[in-house]
Structure 1
Amino acid sequence: MKHIKKLLFIAIAFTAIYSCSTKKDTIISRNYHAMTTYFNILFNGEEAFKKGVEGINSGYNDDWFEQLPIEPIEFDDRKITVPTFNNNGPGAGFGGTDTNETTKESSGPFEKAEEKAVKAIQKHGMNINGLERNRQIDDAYLLLGKSRYYSQRFIPAIEAFNYVIANYPDANLIAETKIWRAKSNIRLDNEEFAIESMKLLMVVKDTLEPDFPDEIKEQAYTTLAMAYVKTDSIQKVKKYLQLATRTQENRDQAARNMFILGQIYAQENKKDSATLAFNRLSKFKKAPYKYKIRANIELARNAYNDSLSFSLLEKLQKLIKNRDNRPYLDELYYQVATLHEKNDSLKLAKEYYNKSLRALNGGDKQKTFTYENLGNLYFKNSEYQLASAYYDSVLNVSKDSLDLRIRRVKRKYKNLASLIKFEDVVERHDSIIKIASLSKTEQEKFFQNYIDDLKKKDEEAAQLRLNQIAFGGSSGSNSLQSSNKGKFYFYNTQSLGFGKTEFQRVWGNRKLEDNWRYSSKISNNIIAKDSLATEQKNLRYDLASYLEKIPTEKQVIDSLKTDRNQALYELGVIYKEQFKNKDLAINRLERVSTLQPREELILPINWHLYQIYNEAGETNKALKYKNTILTNYPNTVFAQLIKNPEKKFEENDKINEVEKSYKELYYLYKKEEYKNVLIGVNSILPTLTNSKLKPKFELLKAYAIGKYLPKEIYKEALEFVAINYGNSEEGKKAKEILEQLNK
């Protein structure tokens, strides 16, 4: 009886095993392999795939200042691989469904998912008479293709998708498979095929199956929008993004699509449409918070009327008070500042721009915009030195030197560099000349007041440091509190220690006696290092050290005046020609005209002032400078231009005359008469408004500067040529020289 039971059990087991063979088309076999495929293999593959996608989404950093990509992933075109084909049964030609691949160790979630998909296909595939009997195999091929897509192996992915489409035309996942195949083709720049296949899918489905799932429609329309982005068909992109956002089955992608749609409208300057899109996103309850908060930021950026600006200001202030928005404070403060700037509340705008800069965890790119806007505010207010400082901050913070906006800021900063330099020369030389003109008594009084003020500030700073340490010690760690009882200064050992060290550093080791401050009372055991530090500090309080630096020789003072006058003239020309600031140009040119400038500057000064007043319609003021030119310089080109403003000189004659002037100046340069070259170039440049030879004169001027002026001024002159005439031979030459100087 036992043998009969044993034989019966073996027979039943053998029958079950045989019926579950992948070669037998039975109900038991189909269901067994379908269940085993999913629960033993495919489930783990899908979990690994989900983990990989979550990792990509969490690790992707969006640049919210640029139009977002529809799919948040970056691929490297250089890593697209060509598959190796094989012929091992079903799935042959799909880039590795052979047994060797199943043994390869997975290096990431997508590789693991691909490994599981291949294993499911190989072990549980039931291809009988050309038909696949295991209903899970099409899911395995889809997982295989999607894993290869994220591994940037698009050609093998397409082969996997094609296998499903060719062999499982009625599969439940056929629509999703076609969508993924289209996405893979887009990545391979086959967007036209992707568009055609997606349109065919949607038309067929819309005709035959009205109940097409919303999730699939969203994916299809999103894929079409991706394809049209590659073809630069913005209208089509907007159309399919709108269709994709009718439903929100995939909340992450739906929110992203809404945001991109708003960005496109904003780029087209359709502020009302952009506002509607961002408003809709801000009210989308299921949207990830990062999209909702930035939708509110974009609403402020696209405010198109005053009433909307005021309502948005209130909304932004509420968002700022919300502690959950601390990571976004730099952007929120920035948008509040821009709204105040639009409303001409410039004081509030500056206040909030500075709050944006001080916000913790502020992004570098946001800081570049904030610094730039502050620079622009000061630039518009003709505060060029402050503007230059903020533009410099933009360049220091920015990491993208190729960005067009950063290059524009750099050009502004370079243009301001020479202006700042000349303004510093004027300010410094004015101060020295003014002090040199004072009597000995007045000079002593001036510097004594300066020293007294310096001492007061030093004492206040030292006392502040003492107070800070005393406060810190009384409220610091437990160990300090145990030894430093009370808040009184002399009960705080930390403050006492600092005070003693600071006293010895300044005064040295003094005996406790009367008149201890006198230098003769200094102890002989003062450390040399402390003595040197004390001596250096006391030099700041030494009246004689200041008085001996005042120039007394007439030649030196005259040189300072000449340089100051030249700087004022250069400033007048810069304000007139580069910055179109009529008031400052007049201020500098009229001032230098009253300071007895060199003879060579008088004619150009009068010509520039005549031009400014004439263009401004102030004929009475222009007449003064016109008469000066006609009376004192009747045979110059300037006089001819005034007498015959409508006359067109022969181009050849003009060119010949300019060439002749250039040759003469170049001859002077060869003779090492560099100052005369500079004077000659400055006198002829105002007449070369549209001349092709103007870059040559500017470069010759730079060369002359480089021969007898400091290196910094030489570099600034070269930078001026390189920036303003970058496409000319002279501009390229100036760049080459700059590169050599900067090495």
Structure 2
Amino acid sequence: MKKLYKVLTLIICAIVIYSCSTKKDTVINRNFHVLNTKYNVLFNGEQAFEKGIKNIEDNYTDNFWKRLPLEPIKFDERNIGELRLGTPGNGFDNKEDQKNKPATPFDRAEEKAVKAIQKHSMNIGGYEKNRQIDDAYLLLGKSRYYTQRFIPAIEAFNYIIANYPKADLIYDTKVWRAKANVRLENEKLAIETLKLLVDLDKNEEDLSGVQLQSAHTALAMAYEKTDTIQKVIDNLKKSVGLANNEQSYRNKFVLGQIYSELNRKDSSRTIFKLLAGNKKTPRKYRIHAYIELVKNLEKDSSNLGLIGKFKKLIRNSDNRKYHNELYYHLGVLEEKRDSIETATDYYIKSLEAKKNNNYQKTYAYERLGNIYFDKQEYLLAGSFYDSVLQATSEEFENEKRIRRIKRKQKGLNKLRSFEEVVKTNDSILKLTKMSSEEQTAFFEQYIEKLKEDEEKKRQRLANSQNFGNQLASGSSFGGNKGKWYFYNSQSKGFGKVSFTKVWGDRPLEDNWRWSDKTAPSEESEENEETKKQDNSRYEVATYVKTIPTNKEEIKALAKDRNEALYQLGLIYKEQFKNPDLAIEKFEYLLTVNEKPELKLPINYHLYQLYERISEKEKSEEKKNLILTKYADSKFAQIIREPNTKLSTDDEVSEIDKKYKNIYSMYKFNMNEEAVNQIDNLGSEIENSELIAKFALLRALCIGRYKSKEEYKKALEFVAFKYANQIEGQKANEIIQLLK
């Protein structure tokens, strides 16, 4: 019996060893390797591949503000075409090159596919006897595709097409190969192969609905790369009815977006209404279909139906992660109805939504900025535009919309600084004109208000302390009635807050109250100093002594205020196209300006502004003033002969060209040559308006190739010679920085 058992064991072992061979074409060998490939190696590889796809789906976020990509994946454009081959001709990666790279599920899937091919391939007489090997090659190609190695992926797909022309997966392989070619920007080759595949299906009807959908989707991807938009539309229309899967809904959504871009609003609305009304549509496409309907509204249509629908969507707790977008577009709908206050509330709710992203926030901030800009509340508008720029990531900072906001914000920043100068200097100058009695009365009133504010703060603090005491004395709040104060966590919390407000953050030590300590420490001295400073806030003398009395200092304040007023007038006139505010600034400047040379340009700007708003009487008044009092000026010449070129234009443009050429030298670090060029100009620029610019440019060039002392001397010359011009002030700023 034992002998028989041994014989049977040997026979089974021999059969197993015999069946392991990949060189013998027998039923046992074929089935052994098919089973091992399918249910062992390839199964594990496919599981890893599915895990990789799940990771992509979880980590990829669609930006519905842009046209969606047909394939929801983002590749690094810089690494497209990366080729990592091992032994020439085998198409497998060199493992030595991959040691330091963390493995992904796709790398694991590729490893299993390679293992299946290397250990279980039965290529006998030029024919593959293991029917699972074509699946292994397809898995290999797809894994490489998702790791962005498209050339090795195409090699795997080509192997299947060449060696398994009648395999069930041949159509899928051709689609995958075409997609890899699209990624490599071989769109024409991809289009040719896919058209051949689709035409073949018309004759033989071999492709399933899903395969045909994949082919048309890949064709749309290829035509999208070639900017043949009508072909993209045609293929998307053909793809949407072939299978009821997520790709079908995605293709339909993209089709609606394309119609919207082409301003075919009716077609776009039809698509999005179908998506929004279909309960089988995946939630993200259904919600955004409603949003797209807002973007594609007719100008004269009623928004009430959509407003009601959006409110209903917001009430549904399943849509919480879309609240930021839903509130934003509710604001858009209300703004279109001129309900600006309601729209503002919705935009703020959009920003406050728990689940949010910075790109969505930029649109809400921009809308709020535009609202306040239209209301002429420029400083508030500027703060919202600031928020847009802060929320904008590097990926989107070159968008046309963001560049436009940057230009707008640049003007608003200037406006903010000039308004601050006018407000501050005006206040100080008014104080300088008051008598000592008036100054005293003014600051007494200010101190009284300061004391009232302090009293209100103290009262609020006392109320909070009383509330804490009520808790400590056994109030029923929190269900701790009759228990010790420190057993009640809320009472403790109130007590801690009250203590911190009164005493600050004190260390746990003896004599923690400074006033009770026997020996004064550095901290107690600092505290006494702080008390003195606090008390000085209630003394009129503290404020009176800060009012400037030096005539030169007062003159400088007035000069800065006037220059700021002039710049404000120009910004409102030229950049923000707000003639009313521009007139207000220029008219005020006329009343306070003491520089005779400024009166002419101010009156000229006012003449243009009154013309713009059709104030004929005032514009004629300014015009006559310029023509009579400043008859020989350039401004008078422009008014008399508006279509005639000024006689000095050629001279100015010639010097301007020279300045630009020398400035280009400075930019390209040709500093010594630039200095020589400026020195050689000599008398040519003596009477030019650009002489100060040339002087500053010369100093900047010297600073790049000479010593710090020489640089400083050159700057001091500019600061002294052109002290009243912007270039002189700029030179002085640089000198201060050098110090």
Give the distance between the partners of 2:101 and 2:443, measured in 1 at CA: 80
Structure 2 unaligned blocks of 5 or more: 505-514, 657-682, 697-720
**Equivalent residue for 2:200?**
204
Counterpart in the other structure of 2:34: 34
Contact 2:468 2:494 in 1 (8 A): no
Contact 1:148 1:156 (8 Å CA) reproduced? yes
Q: CA deviation at 1:450?
A: 1.9
For each residue in 1:202-225, what CA deviation from the matched residue of structure 2 results, as whole angstroms up to 9, or x when unmatched? 10012111x631110111111111
From the superposition, tell whether residues 7 and 388 of structure 1 become closer, same or farther in structure 2 (CA, over 3 Å). Answer: closer
Shift of 1:175: 0.4
Question: Once the 2 structures are TM-superposed, how far is the Cα of residue 194 of structure 1 from its aligned partner?
Answer: 0.8
**Could you say which residue in structure 2 is the equivalent of 1:44?**
44
Cα deviations by residue, 1:653-680 (Å, 9 ceiling, x for unpaired): 675899899742558749999xxxxxxx
CA contact (8 A) 2:80 2:184 kept: no
1:655/1:481 Cα in 2 relative to 1: closer, same or farther (>3 Å)?
farther
Letter in 2 for 1:280: L
Question: How far apart, in 1, do the equivalents of 2:84 and 2:633 lie?
Answer: 79
- In structure 2, the residue matched to 1:528 is 525
Query: Which residue number in structure 1 is paired with residue 538 of structure 2?
Result: 541
Answering whether residue 425 of structure 2 is matched by residue 417 of structure 1, we say no
Tell me how far 1:32 sits from its aligned partner: 3.6
- Indicate conservation of the 8 Å contact 1:613/1:622, yes or no: yes
More off after superposition, 492-501 vs 257-266 = 492-501
Give the direction of change, closer, same or farther, for the CA distance of 1:575–1:108 in structure 2 (3 Å limit). closer
The aligned residue for residue 219 of structure 1 is 214
Q: 2:382 & 2:102 partners in 1: Cα distance?
A: 55
The CA deviation at 1:86 is 5.0
| Deviating more after overlay: 47-56 vs 31-40 | 31-40
Aligned match of 1:276: 270
1:75 corresponds in structure 2 to 75
Displacement over 6 Å in runs of 4+: 97-106, 475-481, 520-526, 656-662, 670-673, 700-703, 740-743
Q: Could you tell me how far 1:199 is from its partner in structure 2? A: 0.6
Local SS of the residue matching 2:215: helix
- How many Å separate the matches in 1 of 2:35 and 2:390? 61
1:645 corresponds to: 642
Report if the CA contact (8 A) 2:328-2:364 is conserved. yes
Letter in 1 for 2:48: A
Offset of 1:111 from its aligned partner? 2.1
Shift of 1:613: 2.1
Shift in Å, 1:55: 1.1
Kindly state the Cα deviation for residue 525 of structure 1 after the two structures are TM-superposed: 6.6
SS at match of 2:174: helix
Residue in 1 that maps onto 2:666: none
Report the CA distance between 1:21 and its aligned residue.
4.8
In the alignment, is residue 601 of structure 1 matched against residue 598 of structure 2?
A: yes
Give the partner amino acid of 1:238.
I
Letter in 1 for 2:361: K
Amino acid at match of 2:581: L
Contact 2:141 2:153 in 1 (8 A): yes
Report the CA distance shift for 1:645/1:84 in structure 2 as closer, same or farther (over 3 A).
closer
Distance change (3 Å), C-alpha of 1:112 and 1:493: closer
Select which of 560, 566, 570 maps to 1:573: 570
Paired position in structure 1 for 2:561: 564
Deviation, structure 1 residue 494: 6.0
**TM-superposed deviation, 1:171:** 0.8
Counterpart check, 1:592 vs 2:589:
yes
Computed over aligned residues only, the root mean square deviation of the Cα atoms, in angstroms, reads 4.2
Residue 341 of structure 2 is aligned to residue 344 of structure 1: no
Q: Corresponding residue for 1:108?
A: 104
Native 8 Å contact 1:630 1:639 kept in 2:
yes
Deviation at 1:436, TM superposition (A): 3.3
Structure-1 residue corresponding to 2:386: 392
CA contact (8 A) 1:329 1:359 kept: yes
- 1:275 is displaced (CA, Å) by 2.6
**Distance in 2 separating the partners of 1:591 and 1:703:** 22
1:24–1:249 Cα change, 3 Å = farther
- Determine the structure 2 residue equivalent to 1:59: 59
Q: Aligned equivalents of 2:694 and 2:48: distance in 1?
A: 80
Q: Is the 8 A contact 2:692 2:722 kept in 1?
A: no
Measured after TM superposition, the shift of residue 433 of structure 1 is: 2.8
Query: Counterpart of 2:456 in structure 1: which amino acid?
Result: E
Does 2:619 correspond to 1:622?
yes
Is residue 378–residue 386 contact of structure 1 (8 Å, CA) maintained in 2?
Answer: yes
Change (3 A) 1:246 1:702: farther
The answer on whether the counterparts of 1:106 and 1:112 sit within 8 Å (CA) in structure 2 is: no
Counting aligned pairs with the same residue, the percent is 46
Instruction: State the match for 1:95 in structure 2.
Output: 91
Counterpart pick for 1:247 among 242, 248, 270: 242
d(CA) in 2 for partners of 1:102, 1:615 = 70
- Is structure 2 residue 451 aligned with structure 1 residue 464? no
Deviations 1:182-211 (A, max 9, x none): 1111222211111110110010012111x6
Deviation string 1:418-463 (CA, Å, 9 cap, x unpaired) is 2222222222222223333334333333222222222222332344
Task: Report the AA paired with residue 379 of structure 2.
Answer: Q
Paired with 1:703 and 1:173, the residues of 2 have a C-alpha distance of: 81
- What residue in structure 2 maps to residue 509 of structure 1? none
Taking the aligned partners of 1:671 and 1:81, their CA distance within structure 2 comes to 52
Distance 1:710 1:457 in 2: 45
Give 3-state SS (helix, strand or coil) of 2:725's partner.
helix
Question: How big is the shift at 1:137?
Answer: 1.7
Instruction: Report the CA distance shift for 1:540/1:324 in structure 2 as closer, same or farther (over 3 A).
Output: farther
**Offset, 1:320:** 1.9
Note closer, same or farther for the CA distance 1:406–1:302 as it changes in structure 2 (3 Å cut): same
Shift of 1:624: 0.6
C-alpha distance 446-492 of structure 1, shift in aligned 2 (>3 A): farther
CA contact (8 A) 1:120 1:137 kept: yes
1:311 aligns with 2:290: no
Deviation for aligned residue 1:468: 5.3
2:318 is aligned to 324
1:138 corresponds in structure 2 to 134
TM-score, structure 1 normalization: 0.79
Do the aligned residues in 1 keep the contact of 2:171 with 2:207 (CA within 8 Å)? no
- State which of 362, 371, 376 in structure 1 corresponds to 2:365: 371
Q: CA contact under 8 A between 2:465 and 2:495: conserved in structure 1?
A: no
The one-letter amino acid paired with 2:303 is: S
Unaligned runs of 5+ in 1: 88-92, 506-519, 674-699, 716-736
Look up the SS of the partner of 2:687 in the other structure: helix
Provide the rounded CA distance (Å) in 1 between the counterparts of 2:228 and 2:328. Answer: 33
Separation in 1, partners of 2:271, 2:285: 12
1:664 alignment partner in structure 2: 687
**Are 2:223 and 1:228 aligned?**
yes
SS of 1:594's partner is: helix
Q: For residue 99 of structure 1, report the CA deviation from its aligned partner.
A: 12
Q: Give, in whole Å, the separation in 1 of the partners of 2:99 and 2:14.
A: 29
C-alpha separation between the residues in 2 aligned to 1:391 and 1:46?
Answer: 49
2:701 aligned with 1:705: no
Counterpart code for 2:726: I
1:427 aligns with 2:449: no
Secondary structure of 2:592's counterpart equals coil
1:331-364: per-residue Cα shift (whole Å, max 9, x none)? 2221111222222211112222222222224211
Find the aligned partners of 2:516 and 2:93 in 1 and give their Cα distance: 95
Aligned AA (2:221) = M
CA distance in 1, matches of 2:282, 2:311: 21
Deviation (angstroms), 1:241: 2.0
* Aligned counterpart for 1:154 among listed residues 128, 150, 167: 150
Checking the alignment, whether the CA contact within 8 Å between 1:165 and 1:174 is kept in structure 2 is yes
Q: Check conservation: 2:325, 2:350, Cα contact below 8 A.
A: yes
CA–CA distance in 1 between the matches of 2:352 and 2:223?
Answer: 41
- Structure 1 pair 417–115 and aligned structure 2 pair: CA distance change class (3 A): closer
> Using the alignment, how far apart are the partners of 1:618 and 1:118 within structure 2?
84
Following superposition, the deviation at residue 291 of structure 1 comes to 2.9
